[in-house]
């Protein structure tokens, strides 16, 4: 039997389990060029498969990414969370925002909360983020989180930087 997926909050966001209603904005995300770091762009059928993986990750690993909901409006704004599929280099903090939600600080806010959850609720002792070298917005998020670039690796036909996140004791506490 599956354990319930926990939810967490930040000042502006709710990190919650995905629902079927989240698919439409995710389909738009996967149709856009911004999804290249997540295996896109792709059509709706492939987008559904990618979307379903998030819930499946929770079922198989006991942790995974959360849907991000703006608490004020109830709008779905993206995803962030814990990621470690088969073949991945090591446990990762991941994030992605749907079109129209960039530049608001949501990715940094959500990734910081996800990292705290990884350490405090899921027993992680370390985490990385794998970021395409041309993804300036995500590179800036990693830097705002205080992560340190360790190395560059081949990634989906291009190059990616591996950023190491701060240890649990070096993170700000949650309220």
What is the model's pLDDT at position 1? 45
pLDDT confidence of residue 173: 61
Residue pair 78/68 in contact by the 8 Å Cβ criterion: yes
Residue ranges in 93-154 assigned as alpha helix (H)? 106-121, 136-144
For residues 95 and 150, the answer to whether their CB atoms sit within 8 Å is no
Backbone angles phi, psi at 29, to 5 degrees: -60, -50
What share of the chain has pLDDT > 70, as a percent? 97
Q: How confident is the model at residue 171 (pLDDT cuts 50, 70, 90)?
A: confident
Residue 86 has pLDDT above 80, yes or no: yes
Range 72-76 contact pairs with CB under 8 angstroms and sequence separation of 24 or more: 72/12, 76/21, 76/22, 76/25
Percentage of residues in the chain having pLDDT higher than 90? 88
Q: What backbone torsions phi and psi does residue 30 show, to the nearest 5 degrees?
A: -70, -20
All domains of the chain in start order, with CATH: 9-170 (3.40.630.30)
């Amino acid at each position: 039997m599956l354990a319930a997926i926990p939810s967490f909050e930040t000042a502006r966001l709710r990190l919650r389990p995905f629902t079927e209603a989240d698919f439409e904005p995710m389909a738009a995300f996967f149709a856009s060029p911004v999804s290249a770091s997540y295996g896109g762009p792709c059509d709706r059928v492939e987008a559904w498969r990618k979307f379903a993986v998030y819930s499946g990750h929770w079922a198989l690993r006991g942790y995974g990414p959360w849907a991000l909901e703006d608490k004020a409006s109830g709008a779905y704004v993206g995803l962030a969370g814990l990621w470690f599929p088969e073949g991945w280099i090591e446990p990762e903090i991941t994030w992605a925002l749907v079109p129209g939600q960039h530049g608001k600080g949501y990715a940094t806010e959500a990734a910081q909360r996800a990292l705290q959850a990884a350490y405090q609720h899921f027993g992680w002792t370390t985490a990385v983020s794998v970021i395409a070298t041309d993804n300036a917005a995500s590179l800036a998020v990693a830097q705002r989180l205080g992560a340190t670039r360790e190395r560059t690796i081949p990634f989906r036909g291009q190059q990616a930087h591996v950023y190491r996140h701060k240890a649990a004791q070096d993170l700000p506490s949650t309220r």
